[in-house]
Amino acid sequence: MQGVGLAVGEVFAGYRIERVLGRGGMGTVYLAGHPRLPRLIALKLLDRELYADEEARRRFEREADVVARLDHPNIVSVLDRGADDGVLWISMQYVDGGDAAAFRGRPMDPARAAGIVAQTAAALDYAHDRGVLHRDVKPANILLSAAHGGGDRVLLSDFGIARMREDTRQLTKTGELLATLAYAAPEQLSDEAVDQRADQYALGCTLFALLTGQAPFTATNPGAIIAAHLTRPVPNASALVPGLPPAVDEVIARAMAKDPARRFAGCGEFADAAARALAGRAAAAVSQSPADYSPPVPASVSNSADAPGWQDASVASTPPAVPHPADAVVARRPASAHNWASDAVSRAPGRQVSSGWRTFSVLLLVSALVLGVGGVAAVGVYWKFVRPNRPQPLPWGAQHSIAIAFPELVPASPEGTGWRGARCHAAATVVTQPGDPVPLRQIVCTDPDGVTAWYTEYAGFRDVQAYLTAHATLTGEREFSRPGGLQVFRPTDPAAPFALATHGWVAPMVSSVLVEVAWPGHTFDEVRDLWWAQAPF
């Protein structure tokens, strides 16, 4: 049985268990009585099954280490930690109240939303000044209780995936992207350098959600959410909620600028600008025009809401629904130095138009508009000759090279379905093990039978071979639709996350792409015979 399963009244590590506060992907949080003081605490326990997982232990212990460095009235405090009977635990400040996610689906009073964001911003700026990034700011991690004298007392919780700015270790477990996609900054999703401005972006998303009752970008699949963060302009909150001043749209747009350099200098500055805008005094709150917020070329393309993880670690709340596996992005970490923009757009197929024709078309269009005649003809020339040759974004963005390499397996766009009805998305983050070559990009597909295939592109053939040499053994080969054979590999580690790997080792376009397959409940031989042998490579 997963977890620890403590009963009400049971004593664990000296704490008397009162009730369950919440459950998540790594364990359970209990309300418990302090052994020596008349107070209640939140007791977070790592699932017993994860105790042997070094990465899970390190992440769990690091949460205590990170938060223990922070002493701020708007940050949940860590009181103690330890291990008892093979179970890791952390005791934390208990907040008797709810969280800001409880308002999902209905707009919050603007003044109250501004106050919640201001207190959260103070907590974040304090953490940032001490070198700590939160990396998972969202309404569910903003705890609310009644303040003395009225109003909200805000406490920021769940630093489970926080890290020190100088810490380059990647502790996100392979197969999971723990940052909530609905509130993740573009640089998090495209694996660029992340600093405190990513937390500001998430706080901007949070303010939008508090004011409107919904996240800025909503969709039913991870690919659409990520593509929206990377390419779509920020929607206007005032268009969704009558009565909101349009000035707040500019403030949120600046906090959520695709380019981190265009955001506010700090979270507090953003919160102040938001408060002025919501009070109708934001004429000078934003120094940039709305045109400054036009989205750049996509950085990469991979729902909603929460990936598996801790839920409301220190607040009494309704236990969360178990997220669908599609809500977690399964991945290994790509090379951040790659120039994604060079891959993201391409000229649309069709006839090539000479520069003379383009010049003539533009002159005709301008002349017609100036003279007020022939407007229809000018527009016709534009649509026939000029517009089709403008750079058009590719459906898969940076992962286009993978999609076209396996057209019978991977759909032409994230909205389509692949072989056997598989739904696919571009992985936002790809995590490698020490010593492994670093991939460039990845597409993940899962079919209705539970078969998951990872299509991972490396810099070249040698990187794929190095990975296979370290983790798998060649067991066979089959015919390929292109020159060369399609080799099949069995993992050398029985606990490996994949059951089978395959590689078109000399085939053009695919020699740098590794395909790994997992099918829960099926052996290597079954995956080979029922999936790999029949797959339309």
Q: What is the full DSSP assignment across 252-309?
A: HHHHT-SSGGGS-SSHHHHHHHHHHHHTT--TTS-SS-GGGG---S-S-----S--SS
DSSP symbol at 325: G
CA atoms within a 13 Å half-sphere pointing along the CA-CB vector of 251: 35
Q: How far apart are alpha carbons 453 and 144 in whole angstroms?
A: 42
Tally of CB atoms within 10 A around 313: 24
How far is it, in rounded angstroms, from Cα 72 to Cα 49? 33
Cβ neighbours of 434 (radius 10 Å): 5
Which of 479, 154, 175 has its CA nearest to residue 332? 175
Contact 186, 230 (CB under 8 A): yes
Give the span between the Cα atoms of 69 and 90, in whole angstroms.
15
| 426 vs 441: CA distance, rounded Å | 8
Say if residues 416 and 318 touch (Cβ distance below 8 Å).
no
68 exposure class (CB count in 10 Å sphere: 0-12, 13-18, 19+): middle
Q: Are 202 and 185 in contact (CB under 8 A)?
A: yes
Q: Which residues pair with 40 in a beta bridge?
A: 33
Q: Which of 207, 189, 211 is nearest to 121 (CA)?
A: 207
Token couple for 398: 């940076």
SS3 state of residue 148? coil
State residue 505's pLDDT score: 66
pLDDT value for 348: 34
β-sheet bridge partners, residue 426 = 443
**Helix, strand, or coil (residue 359):** helix
Query: Which residues form the catalytic set?
Result: 136
- Which among 517, 515, 509 has a CA at the least distance from the CA of 400? 509
Structure tokens at 323: 């997220």
State the pairing for strand pair 163-164/132-133.
antiparallel
User: Residue 441: enclosing H or E segment and its boundaries?
Assistant: strand 441-446
Judged on CB neighbours under 10 Å (0-12, 13-18, 19+), 193 is exposed
Structure confidence at residue 482 (pLDDT)? 53
| Nearest Cα to Cα of residue 205 among 307, 311, 305, 287 | 305
Q: Domains in the chain, ordered, with CATH?
A: 11-93 (3.30.200.20), 98-320 (1.10.510.10), 349-389 (no CATH), 397-532 (no CATH)
The count of other CB atoms within 10 Å of the CB of residue 318 is 10
- What is d(CA 7, CA 452) in angstroms, rounded to the nearest whole number? 37
- Tokens for 205, please give them: 């998303």
Predicted confidence at residue 484, as pLDDT, reads 59
Amino acid at 436: D
- Comparing CA positions, the residue from 78, 73, 75, 41 lying closest to residue 62 is 78
155 phi/psi in degrees, rounded to 5: -130, 125
Residue 509 host element (H or E)? none
Q: Are 195 and 263 in contact (CB under 8 A)?
A: no
- Determine whether 257 is exposed, middle or buried from the number of CB atoms within 10 Å of its CB (0-12, 13-18, 19+): buried
Q: What is the per-residue pLDDT for 506? A: 61
User: For residue 116, which of 93, 105, 100 has the smallest C-alpha distance?
Assistant: 100
And the tokens for 439? 């991939």
pLDDT in tens, the chain (537 residues): 344 578 889 999 999 999 888 776 567 889 999 888 888 999 988 877 776 677 777 777 777 777 777 889 999 888 888 888 778 888 988 888 888 988 888 899 999 999 999 999 999 999 999 888 888 899 989 999 888 777 899 999 887 544 434 443 333 333 334 337 889 999 988 867 889 999 999 999 999 999 999 999 987 677 788 889 999 999 999 999 999 999 999 999 999 999 999 999 999 999 999 999 999 744 434 444 333 333 332 222 222 333 333 333 333 333 333 333 333 333 333 333 232 222 332 333 333 444 444 434 434 333 443 334 333 333 343 334 444 444 457 889 889 989 988 999 999 999 999 999 999 999 877 767 778 898 989 999 999 989 999 999 998 888 898 999 999 999 988 765 555 578 999 999 888 889 999 998 666 568 889 999 999 889 999 999 999 999 998
Strands (E), 78-224: 78-84, 87-93, 98-99, 132-133, 142-146, 152-156, 163-164
Query: Integer distance in angstroms from the first to the last C-alpha of the chain?
Result: 40
The pLDDT assigned to 303 comes to 29
Q: What is the pTM of this model?
A: 0.52
Which string of b and e fits 379-413 if b means at least 16 CB within 10 Å? eebbeebeeeeeeebbbbbbbbbbbebbeebbbee
Q: Give residue 507's pLDDT.
A: 60
